[in-house]
DNA sequence: TTCGATTTGTTCGTATGTATT
DNA sequence: TAATACATACGAACAAATCGA
C-alpha cells in the first residue's frame, strides 16, 4: 500500500499537474526556480538582510515540493548568492563589512595575516569613459562616469592605489561626501546606497613599474615593481558595475589566490 | 496509512539503528561519509577514471539511505573532488590534460584566449631543501629534494620560468627522462606516475624584477617587472606535494582570477 | 525566563526519468 | 533490449536554531 502510483503525468492533491523531470521547456523544475529566484534578487527589490520567502512559501508559490525548492536553494548557496540560517530564514548573500572584505580582497601580510585597510579618498571627479572603461562597463566611449582615486593603507603604510570608474547613470547622484562618510567597503557602499550587489569580480594581473605619480603616493622609488590588478566587478545577471585599476606595493603584502577545493569540512 | 511513525531512535528493516541528525560525535551522517570517502580517495587506492562504489553500494556500506549518500556526494562534486556521470558512475575528479591546465593555469592572452604552453625542461637536479622549501612542503631543512626548472613558451615566446621543488621521498625514482617524455602537465604527471592527485593550489603573488639569469631566459631586459607566483600544491588531505616559484612575463599574457560565483546556470 | 511557533537542517524512503553500457 | 547508475521530484518525520509572546 504505497502512496499513489504515478504515471508520467498526474494531478496531485493540490491540483499540481506536471510531467516529472524535464518540463515543457526541457528544463528541470529546480533549475527554473533557481532562475526565477535569481531574477527576483537581481531586480533589487529584496534588500539584503531581509529574508527571502520561506521554503514553504516558495514551494506553494511555484507549486512544487519543499525538497525541490531546497535543491534549488542548495545551488544558490553553493554559488554564494544566498545564505541560509537555521531558524531564521534565507537571505541575499551579504555583505557584512568584513565578509565583503574577506571575499573580494585577497590581500594578506606575508605571514598570512589579513589586515583591514584604511581608505583615503584622494580625488573624486566626473569625467567621460575612455575606450577601455567603456568596453569594461558596457558603455559607449564618452559616456559620463565618476572617477575615484583611493589610497589604502595597511599597517599604517600605503599599499594600494585604486582608480575606480563608475557609470554615472548607475550611480547617479554620487558625491564625494558619501565616500568619506561611508562606514564600509566600496562594495558594501554600492549595495546600501544604490542597491547594487557585487557578487563576482574578475581580476587581471600584470607586473608593472611605478611611474612618478604612483611612486609618490605609494611611497616607493620610481620604477619600483608594482602589481597591477585590473578588475571588473559584476552584479547579478553579469552586469558590470565597476571598473577598477589597482596598483599594489607587494613588499610587505601579497595577493593570494586559492584554486580548487576550499576544504570546508566544517 | 503513512509509513511507520518514528521515534528518536529506531531500527529499520535493514537492521539500521541510528539517532536522527547529529550522531554520536555530533557530526552529521553525510559529513561523516564525505570524510570517509575523501580519506579513501586520498589513500591513492582508487586510480582516477575508475569509478567509486555506486551510490547504492555506499548506502549499503555505510548503512544509510541513498539520499544521504547523494547529499555527501553533492558536496564533493561542488568541491571538484569527484565528478558524476549519469548512467556511468562517480569518478575521482580528473584531470584530462586540458582540464588540468584550465583548472590550475589561469594564464590568458590579453584578449582572453587561452594558450597551451610548450614546456622546455632547462635543468633537473637533486638537492636539499632550504628553509623556505622545507616549510612549504612540511619537510626538515636539508631533506633531499628534486629541483626542476622549466621554461614555458606561449605563442613561441618564453613567458613563464618555473622553479619546481619536490620532496625526493614522495617522488622517489624520478628522473629527467620521465619529464621530457611526459605527454601531459606536471600535475597529470604526478598523478599518473606517483598516484598524487593535486586538487588545490595556493598562489602568492608579488611584483618582482628580472635578475640577470631570469631576464636572459625570458628574453626580457634586466630589471623588467615580472609577476612572481609562489605556489604550494596540495593533494587530498591538504598534503603539500609541490613547491613552485614562477616568474611570469606579463607583456602579452596575464594571470586571471575570478572571485565569487561562476554563474553556471546550465 | 519559559514556551511555542517558525524556519532551516538532516535523514529516510519511494517513484520515475534519462543516459550509458 | 535489459540492466545499471545517476537525476529529478515528492513527501514525511524529527532535530536544532531563532524569535517573540
3 state SS for B212-243: HHHHHHHCCCCCCEEEEEEEEEEEHHHEEEEE
Residue A81 with chain B: CB contacts under 8 Å: 261
Cβ-defined contact of B200 to A263 (cutoff 8 Å) = yes
pLDDT above 90 covers what percent of chain A? 60
- Nucleotide D7: nearest residue by CA–C1'? B86
Same domain, B48 and B180: no
CATH number of the domain within which B15 lies: 1.10.10.10
Confidence of residue B181 (pLDDT cuts 50, 70, 90): confident
Give CA–CA dist A120/A159, Å, rounded: 12
Judge whether A211 lies within some domain: yes
Half-sphere exposure in the Cβ direction for B123 (13 Å, CA): 12
Same domain, B130 and B185: yes
Give CA–CA dist A72/A92, Å, rounded: 14
Same domain, B173 and B79: no
Same domain, B107 and B213: yes
Task: State which residues form the domain around B127.
Answer: 97-255
Q: Which nucleotide is closest, CA of B7 to its C1'?
A: D14
Q: How many CB pairs under 8 A join A and B?
A: 138
Same domain, B165 and B180: yes
Q: Which of A252, A226, A253, A259 has its CA nearest to residue B244?
A: A259
Q: How far is A258 from chain B (nearest CA, A)?
A: 4
Ranked by mean pLDDT, the top range of A182-186, A200-204, A236-240, B234-238 is A200-204
Q: Coil, strand, or helix at residue B231? A: strand
Domain count across chain B: 2
Cβ-defined contact of A207 to B208 (cutoff 8 Å) = yes
Judge whether B195 lies within some domain: yes
Same domain, A148 and A201: yes
Judge whether A183 lies within some domain: yes
Chain centroid to CA B258: how far?
18
Cβ-defined contact of B259 to A201 (cutoff 8 Å) = yes
Same domain, A106 and A81: no
Same domain, B133 and B243: yes
Q: Coil, strand, or helix at residue B154? A: strand
Nucleotides of C under 7 A from a protein CB: 5-21
Poorest-pLDDT segment among A35-44, A202-211, A238-247: A35-44
Mean pLDDT over B30-55 rounds to: 84
Query: Last residue of some domain: A68, A92, A116?
Result: A92
Half-sphere exposure in the Cβ direction for B115 (13 Å, CA): 22
Judge whether A263 lies within some domain: no
pTM for the predicted model, two decimal places: 0.85
Query: Chain A neighbours among B 88-147 (CB < 8 Å)?
Result: 103-104, 106, 108
Task: Give the pLDDT confidence score for residue A23 in this predicted structure.
Answer: 44
Give CA–CA dist A83/A92, Å, rounded: 6
Judge whether B218 lies within some domain: yes
B6 CA, C2 C1': Å apart: 27
- What size, in residues, is chain B? 266
Is the Cβ of A248 closer than 8 Å to some Cβ of chain B?
yes
Same domain, B82 and B103: no
User: Mean pLDDT score of chain A, rounded to an integer?
Assistant: 85
Same domain, A69 and A114: no
Q: Which residue of A has its CA nearest to B31?
A: A265
- Nucleotide C13: nearest residue by CA–C1'? B65
Q: How far is A40 from chain B (nearest CA, A)?
A: 15
Same domain, B61 and B127: no
Judge whether A260 lies within some domain: no
CB of B51 nearer than 7 A to strand D = yes
Q: Which of A116, A106, A37, A112 has its CA nearest to residue A69?
A: A37
Judge whether B1 lies within some domain: no
Peptide bond into A95 cis (omega under 30): yes
Give residues with Cβ within 8 angstroms of B132, minimum separation 6: B243
Query: Last residue of some domain: B41, B62, B92?
Result: B92
Q: Is the pLDDT of residue A137 over 90?
A: yes
Q: Is the pLDDT of residue B266 over 60?
A: no
Same domain, B31 and B151: no
Ranked by mean pLDDT, the top range of A39-53, B34-48, B76-90, B95-109 is B76-90
Task: Give the pLDDT confidence score for residue B25 in this predicted structure.
Answer: 60
Poorest-pLDDT segment among A99-113, A131-145, B19-33, B220-234: B19-33
Residue A103 with chain B: CB contacts under 8 Å: 259-260
Query: Last residue of some domain: A92, A116, A150?
Result: A92
Question: In degrees, to the nearest 5, what angle opens at C-alpha B160 toward C-alphas B156 and B162?
Answer: 130
| φ/ψ bin of A253: left (φ > 0), alpha (ψ from -120 to 50), beta (otherwise) | beta
Q: Coil, strand, or helix at residue B185? A: coil
Q: For residues B116-148, b (16+ Cβ closer than 10 Å) or e, as one string?
A: ebebeeeebeeeebeeebbebbebeeeeebbbb
Judge whether A3 lies within some domain: no
Residue A210 has φ and ψ, to the nearest 5°, of -75, 120
Confidence of residue B114 (pLDDT cuts 50, 70, 90): confident
Give CA–CA dist A53/A45, Å, rounded: 13
CATH number of the domain within which B151 lies: 3.40.1410.10
CB of A11 nearer than 7 A to strand D = no
CB of A196 closer than 8 Å to CB of A241: yes
Give residues with Cβ within 8 angstroms of A120, minimum separation 6: A150, A151, A152, A153
User: Mean pLDDT score of chain B, rounded to an integer?
Assistant: 85
Amino acid at each position: 500500500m504505497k502512496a499513489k502510483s504515478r504515471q508520467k503525468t498526474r494531478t496531485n492533491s493540490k491540483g499540481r499537474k506536471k510531467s516529472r523531470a524535464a518540463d515543457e521547456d526541457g528544463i528541470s523544475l529546480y533549475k527554473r526556480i533557481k532562475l526565477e529566484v535569481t531574477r527576483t534578487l537581481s531586480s533589487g527589490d529584496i534588500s539584503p538582510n531581509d529574508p527571502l520567502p520561506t521554503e514553504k512559501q516558495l514551494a506553494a508559490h511555484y507549486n512544487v515540493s519543499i525538497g525541490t525548492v531546497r535543491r534549488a536553494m542548495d545551488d544558490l548557496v553553493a554559488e554564494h548568492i544566498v545564505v541560509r540560517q537555521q531558524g531564521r530564514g534565507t537571505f541575499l548573500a551579504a555583505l557584512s563589512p568584513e565578509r565583503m572584505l574577506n571575499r573580494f580582497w585577497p590581500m594578506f601580510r606575508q605571514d598570512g595575516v589579513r589586515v583591514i585597510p584604511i581608505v583615503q579618498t584622494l580625488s573624486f571627479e566626473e569625467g567621460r569613459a575612455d575606450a577601455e572603461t567603456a568596453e569594461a562597463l558596457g558603455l559607449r566611449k564618452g559616456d559620463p562616469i565618476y572617477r575615484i582615486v583611493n589610497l589604502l593603507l595597511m599597517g599604517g603604510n600605503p599599499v594600494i592605489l585604486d582608480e575606480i570608474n563608475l557609470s554615472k547613470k548607475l550611480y547617479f547622484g554620487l558625491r564625494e561626501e558619501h565616500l568619506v562618510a561611508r562606514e564600509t567597503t566600496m562594495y558594501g557602499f554600492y549595495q546600501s546606497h544604490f542597491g547594487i550587489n557585487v557578487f563576482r569580480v574578475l581580476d587581471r594581473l600584470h607586473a608593472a613599474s611605478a611611474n612618478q605619480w604612483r611612486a609618490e603616493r605609494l611611497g616607493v622609488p620610481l620604477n619600483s615593481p608594482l602589481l597591477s590588478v585590473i578588475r571588473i566587478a559584476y552584479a547579478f545577471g553579469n552586469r558590470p558595475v565597476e571598473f577598477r585599476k589597482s596598483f599594489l606595493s607587494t613588499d610587505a603584502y601579497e595577493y593570494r589566490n586559492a584554486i580548487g577545493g576550499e576544504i570546508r569540512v566544517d
